[in-house]
Chains A and B, each alone.
Chain A
């Protein structure tokens, strides 16, 4: 499974993931606390500088991740253009862009393993409360393992459908896909039991 982490190695990759996530949370809250277009424009410029400092290829990739916003930007432009509240509209649009760009920046500069390490750290207090945190880590690994397999199952089922039909399978493919997923789940549960099952008294993820 390919994560959204940028293959372009930047300075920001080296900052600890926890620090980045903390800064992201604080800055996102700050973005929603102000309504002044000037401040928000400055914030967006700063984020743009952040992207450019990582190189043009990286910034281009970041821009592509913002594409999903265009219907909303169009909507705001129309709405606020018609009601004549350009300043309020600008604030909303700038905030949308800044918040999404900042969140994407952290995702693009943090490796999956570092993210999982933060999650493990966040879950550590739960472990002391007796919650099976190892189960959560195991489940995450399983989803990564089985998503490509289920996609392949889906494609195989679609092929075997088309081999016998002129129509596309559409939603009907979901029935055998879900049935296969449930069968696979039972097989994997057995494989897990064959290797000792879910044991909660073994050493945890870190030494």
Chain B
């Protein structure tokens, strides 16, 4: 299983957001770094098939994720930055079971599988809980369980830990370590990419570096600190 990006270009509202991105991602843990507005969130959406690129193609296991939504359901899951944008249902059990019925399971099967997933994380007692009453970290874990239950081969995560306190973040990262699926994580924080196998660095919608973390992350951090000395908050986008 691999994510194949070929010459991806995306233009949103007349602005070029991604331009000529090509990469073949086969490593189990891939990080995508870049500043706010570098296009990394858009790239995450392209990989998950939520946006069809204006140019090029994004394929997972040979299938075009934007065109073949059924193949996408079996191959790729995405976790958004804000769990409130992801949770659709009023109770935990419904939220996890939904993706499974979407994959064609009968409701009772889906419910059993959802309970099994909760059990695996030692959260069986969460089943009837109101999703609204969960803490931010708990909501993010629920999103992770809901995606894992669908057994995707690739999980795309878009800044999944921002806004969480350090213990919660560490706990979630530990859960992540135990996952067999390929993880593609988008972040602006190099500290979250410890133990990753490959890093893509995006700037202005273009790939500026691509390689093992030791080669990419130190350069990235130096550059971020240099830019931190400037005042470019003054520029308005578009």
Contact = CB atoms under 8 A, between A and B. Distances in A.
The answer to whether A and B touch directly, with their CB atoms under 8 angstroms apart, is yes
User: Could you say which interface size class chain A belongs to?
Assistant: 20 to 34
A199 B18 CA distance: 30
A166 to B, nearest CB: 30
B80 A196 contact: no
Contact of A187 (B85, B102, B105): B85
A64 interface: no
A144 interface: yes
B127 to A, nearest CB: 14
Contacts of A141: 88-90, 94
Contacts of B161: none
Contacts of B219: none
B69 interface: yes
B90 A195 contact: no
Interface stretch (B5-13, B19-27, B54-62, B70-78): B70-78
A184 B104 CA distance: 27
> What's the dominant secondary structure at chain A's contact region?
helix
Interface string B80-96: 10101111111000100
A42 interface: no
B101 interface: yes
Given A203-B101, A207-B107, A187 B88 contact: no
User: Could you say which interface size class chain B belongs to?
Assistant: 20 to 34
A191 B84 CA distance: 10
A142 interface: yes
A202 interface: yes
A194 interface: yes
A167 interface: no
A148 B90 CA distance: 10
Interface of A: 1, 138, 141-142, 144-145, 148-149, 184, 187-188, 190-197, 199, 202-203, 205-207
Given A190-B85, A196-B103, 12 more contacts: A138-B88, A141-B88, A145-B89, A149-B84, A184-B85, A187-B85, A193-B50, A194-B50, A196-B70, A196-B72, A196-B73, A197-B69
Closest 3 CB pairs of A and B: A187-B85, A196-B102, A144-B90
19 contacts: A138-B88, A145-B87, A145-B131, A148-B132, A187-B86, A191-B80, A191-B85, A191-B86, A191-B87, A191-B88, A194-B86, A195-B102, A196-B69, A196-B70, A196-B99, A196-B102, A199-B102, A203-B105, A205-B107
